[in-house]
Amino acid sequence: MAHRLRDDFSKVERKALKELRADSDLGIVPADKGRSTVVLERTDYINNAQNFLNDHQSYVPYRSVPIKMLTREINTTLLAMKNSGATSPIDRNRARAQETAMAHFYGLPKVNKEGAPSGQSYLSKKLQTTD
């Protein structure tokens, strides 16, 4: 038996949320802490994220995506090691780079401190086990 989802919003709240989502000048994003949601102007959100990305001490822009080249180099080296007997086929298969993806940049607004910077930047990353 499936559990029925409980609606936490009244009709008035649901209508207000729908109107906020329809406004293209606003962004609705999760906050950095807690389970709260923040409604903010989209241009402020984009400008804040752009300020983080313009800090070239923390982020370096690439002209091309190097992940495919690095994946190919890793797999070629592992194949050469297997062919020379340095590793077993099982170890090679465990160490092979598969389903690689670049990390995605996103920002979450800070809501827990007065006077804190208006955002926090993060890089998301898919974690992969080698079991």
CA distance readout (Å), 119 to 47, 88, 101, 109: 10, 47, 25, 4
> Is the pLDDT confidence value at 131 over 70?
no
> Is the pLDDT confidence value at 81 over 90?
yes
> Is the pLDDT confidence value at 74 over 60?
yes
- Average pLDDT over all residues of the chain: 78
35 & 96 share domain = no
Domain span holding position 109: 24-60+103-131
pLDDT confidence band for 84 (50 / 70 / 90):
very high
pLDDT confidence band for 126 (50 / 70 / 90):
very low
Query: 12 in a domain, yes or no?
Result: no
95 & 110 share domain = no
96 & 113 share domain = no
Span 17-55, pLDDT tens digits: 889 889 888 888 887 777 778 888 888 888 888 888 888
Q: Please give the share of the chain, as a percent, with pLDDT higher than 90.
A: 15
73 & 86 share domain = yes
Question: CA-CA distance, 29 to 49, in Å (whole number)?
Answer: 13
Sort residue 124 into left (φ over 0), alpha (ψ -120 to 50) or beta: beta
| Beta bridge partner(s), residue 6 | none
In total, how many domains does the chain have?
2
Query: 2 in a domain, yes or no?
Result: no
Query: 16 in a domain, yes or no?
Result: no
Question: CA-CA distance, 131 to 117, in Å (whole number)?
Answer: 40
With CA atoms as reference, report the closest residue to 105 among 86, 121, 94, 81.
Answer: 121
> Is the pLDDT confidence value at 125 over 60?
no
29 & 91 share domain = no
